[in-house]
Amino acid sequence: MRIADKFNELNRRDEGAMIAYVCAGDGDTPGIVHTLVNAGADIVELGLPFSDPVAEGPTIQASIQRALDNGMNTDRYFAMVKDLDVNIPLLVMTYYNLIFKRGLKKFTADCRDSGITGIIVPDLSMEESGELEECCIDNEIDLIYLVTPVTKGERLDSIVSRSSGFIYLVSRLGVTGARDDVAVSTKELINRVKTDIPKAVGFGISSREQAVEIRKGGADGIIVGSALVDIIGSGHDVTNRLDALVRQIKSGLK
């Protein structure tokens, strides 16, 4: 499913999107994805683990390491995604070297063939993304750009103009990781980004209260990663706790 179709559907119901991140290969990924979707996740970002994930905080770093230790690699990733039976947009989040090494054409074709409709690359700047953007267009895949509290002026405008699917608003300076509050910079950023493309806020979101506040601030969706990964990492009552957290957060977006 394309990302735009999902946001259109949610708009009609006046709901915000709950976007869930988990790292492929950490735990029973197909089971985890079904749990997330059944609990109400609207989009799933499935991390393809990279050995040197500079944008991640300790929680997701640890998850990535477990996935690599479990033998996850790009071939297994696409095979696993292909077998997932879910009717929501699936996105891949990974670092540029894994895409580069496979070849941009092959990687994006593999995405298309396995049902992935969006790519997020936290270490790929606008300056270097031209080639991947073309390959994405050829394969009907959205390349999701990130903007941050320090992205301003003309730079912000050009990123917004090149975005498709949704724009990923990094809520604060720093790496990924669950936090309790919503930074002032988050609301400012939501206001600063002027576009018709949906805006989704990520980095540090772990509760219903934050979801409500961000939705009220004008965002079209939120991205939850570390809070879910924490549960997976604990190995304790994973399915029930994931289900409960996703339902709780999603209830704040309706």
CB of 208 to another protein, least distance (A): 26
Which CB, 36 or 92, lies closer to another protein? 92
Backbone phi and psi for residue 250, each to the nearest 5 degrees, phi listed first: -60, -35
137 binds another protein (CB under 8 A): no
**Residue 104 tokens, joined:** 């941009």
The correct pick among 3, 10, 91, 98 for binding another protein (CB under 8 A) is 98
Q: Does 165 bind another protein (CB under 8 A)?
A: no
> By the 8 A CB rule, do 78 and 36 touch?
no
Q: Cα(first)–Cα(last) distance of the chain, in Å?
A: 21
* Nearest-approach distance from CB 45 to another protein, in angstroms: 16
Which of 2, 96, 183, 195 is the binder for another protein (CB under 8 A)? 96
Between CA 205 and CA 221 the distance in angstroms is 11
Q: Is 222 helix (H, G, I), strand (E, B) or coil?
A: strand
Q: What is the dihedral of CA 74, 90, 87, 117, to 10 degrees?
A: -100
Residue 201 in contact with another protein, rule: CB under 8 A: no
Nearest distance, CB of residue 106 and another protein, angstroms: 12
The least CB distance from residue 135 to another protein, in Å, is 16
Among 11, 54, 83, 218, binds another protein (CB under 8 A): 54
- At which residue do the structure tokens 């050995």 appear? 51
Nearer to another protein, 30 or 174 (CB): 174
Q: CA-to-CA distance for 74 and 110, rounded, in angstroms?
A: 10
Pairing of strands 142-144, 43-47: unpaired
Answer yes or no: 127 catalytic.
Answer: no
Among 20, 36, 143, 159, binds another protein (CB under 8 A): 159
Segment 65-94, which members bind another protein (CB under 8 A)?
65, 68, 73-75
Cβ pair 25, 49 in contact under 8 A: yes
The bridge status of strand 90-93 relative to strand 142-144 is unpaired
Is 56 labeled as catalytic in the residue annotation?
Answer: yes
Give the whole-angstrom CA distance, residue 83 versus residue 57: 30
Per-residue binding string, another protein, 166-185, x by CB under 8 A, is ----x--xxx----------
Residues annotated as catalytic are: 45, 56
Where does this chain bind another protein (CB under 8 A)?
Answer: 50-55, 57-58, 61, 65, 68, 73-75, 95-102, 122-128, 145-148, 150-152, 155, 159, 170, 173-175
